[in-house]
Amino acid sequence: MNLFSSQKPPGWRPKLVLASASPRRLALLEQAGLKPDALLPSDLDESPLKGERPRDLARRLARAKAEAGLAGLKGRPDLESAYILAADTVVAVGRRILPKAEIVDEAAACLRLLSGRAHRVYTGVALATPAGTIRERIVETRLRFKRLSNEDIENYLASGEWRGKAGAYAIQGIAGSFVVKLVGSYTGVVGLPLYETVNLLGGEGFPIRLGWLNVG
């Protein structure tokens, strides 16, 4: 069955669910003219498995979030045949995976490790389609931070911006001034690589341009 046949009323589109509570991912989606019909965040254990590589962790968690979103559709006839979009971001120095910092000491350790050196950000994107398939992408971005002074670190910690962020920083905020070099996807570092996400949706038949009408 063609979801987008001429039998559909003008302006109709399938439902889109974002399997995340992240305001950053929601804002990025809306930036691309894509407004989700519902948010279905999951409560997963995001701890890496023993010996798991950063890339594999990002891919596994993104897929697990999409699968949890699928499970969350049960009993939701209003979201029947929805597309479910999920993502996860992992910051790593070599094979060392940095935590999503929740306490000051943890954040301080991350910032000292990142100071003056290169690191990588892996963002996994998973899309569950109405046909029941799950499509995936993994996006790698390389960054280098300036050498952070003790004053830089202390004041950034005082800002609280790092809390809950992978690697203890938010590139879209104050920490953007720490970045000397970035090769890859800026939006991927924020939390959702827009180029890959939009192409993934479009490739699976979602009308990605419908929301561009009357933007602004």
Catalytic residue among 43, 45, 88, 152: 88
Query: Helix, strand, coil shares of the chain as percentages rounded to 5?
Result: 35, 20, 45
Residues 152 and 100: their CA atoms lie apart, in Å, by 20
Q: Tell me the torsion sign for CA atoms 103, 109, 114, 115.
A: positive
d(CA 185, CA 199): 14
88 catalytically annotated:
yes
Amino acid identity, residue 92? Answer: A
* Cα–Cα separations (whole angstroms), residue 100 to 14, 110, 112: 33, 10, 15
Q: Residues 111, 186, 88, 77: is their CA dihedral positive or negative?
A: positive
Which residues form the catalytic set?
88
